[in-house]
Structures are given as structure tokens and as C-alpha cells.
Amino acid sequence: MTGDFPRLKRALSLIDAISIWSARIGCTLTLVIMVFLLREIVGRYFFNAPTAWVNETNQYLLCILSMMGGAYCVLTDSHIRVDILWLRMGPRTQAASELLTSVFPLVFLCVITWIGFVDSWEAIADDKRSMSILAMPLWPSMLAVPVGTSLMILQFLVRLVRNVLQIISGQSEHPPVAGLID
């Protein structure tokens, strides 16, 4: 069915690629966090030289990490679903039920995105900083919230378009799950 809409298919694939790359950023941040923690453990327990920056930096990176993986979860259908009934439905009924229920997460994500942008803007405008000795700027980790939820909204919209195509065609229009290394 999507063969009838090559431009639409390319646009949907582009958003899928953005979601995959955002998850790759999250994976890279996981490695950075691990290196920082390893440095802290070795420094603290073997050289009696703890740092003041590792814990706070890792908290910021964890905020970014947790927000960057949301769109990939939507893409790969890894979010939580009570699928006792859903698995017994046909492709068209599954797509229709997903269309009906997707209103709730989209409204929730839009509210979080709006609040996140407002809070991020205030943090930038007021130069808000952490209360630690490092006084790190708060806006990078705060900006991860609206950016991550915006990516999730985009991926949800892609999913909704594919569900409409699935209702029309009667066949699954969702791509197979792609790994981050593929």
C-alpha cells in the first residue's frame, strides 16, 4: 500500500531514522556514564581522590539518556501495552484500536513538551544553575525533556499514519523492528 505513496514512505522512513539516531545518542551516553563512573570508582577507592563533578554530570546525562530513547520505543513498539485482547485482533482492528487509544499518550506528550519548553526557556533566560559547587547550567538537561517528547510525538504521528494505511490495506504497514547497530 505504501508503494502508492513514495514521498510519504520516504518521510516516514526519515522520521524512523531520526528516532534510531536519537536512541544511538542515548546508547553513547550510556557508555560515557559508565566511563565516568569507572573513573570515580577507581579514583575514590584506589587513589583516595573522589571528584565533585562525576555524580552531577551523570545525573544530567541520565536525564538526556532517558529522554532520547522514547521515540525509539515508539518505533519498535517497545512501550507498555496490555495486549491480552490486542494480540487476538486482526491487523485492521489492531490499527483502529491503536488510533483510538493514541489520543491519550499524544495529549500527555504535548503537555510535557509545552511545560518542558517553558521551563527550559526560563532556565536559559534566568541562567539557572545547579546548587552544587560546580554551578552547572540546568538548561541542557531540561531541554532534553521537550526535545525527547517532541521526537516521541513525531514517531507517534508516523505510527498513526501507518495505522491508517494498515486499515486501508488490511496488511501491516509497520516496518520490521530495526536494531540500533543494523
Instruction: For 73-82, write each residue's pLDDT tens digit.
Output: 888 888 777 7
Looking at residue 133, its pLDDT comes to 82
Position with higher pLDDT, 64 vs 83: 64
In whole angstroms, give the CA distance from residue 36 to residue 159. Answer: 37
Predicted confidence band at 38 (pLDDT cuts at 50, 70, 90)? very high
Is the confidence at residue 175, as pLDDT, over 80?
no
**Percentages helix, strand, coil for the chain, rounded to the nearest 5?**
75, 0, 25
Position with higher pLDDT, 5 vs 125: 125
Looking at residue 2, its pLDDT comes to 46
CA angle at 164 for the pair 159 and 166, rounded to the nearest 5°: 90
Is the confidence at residue 47, as pLDDT, over 60?
yes
Position with higher pLDDT, 77 vs 142: 142
Looking at residue 169, its pLDDT comes to 79
**pTM of the predicted structure, to 2 decimals:** 0.84
Mean pLDDT within 62-72: 89
In whole angstroms, give the CA distance from residue 182 to residue 178. Answer: 7
Is the confidence at residue 178, as pLDDT, over 70?
no
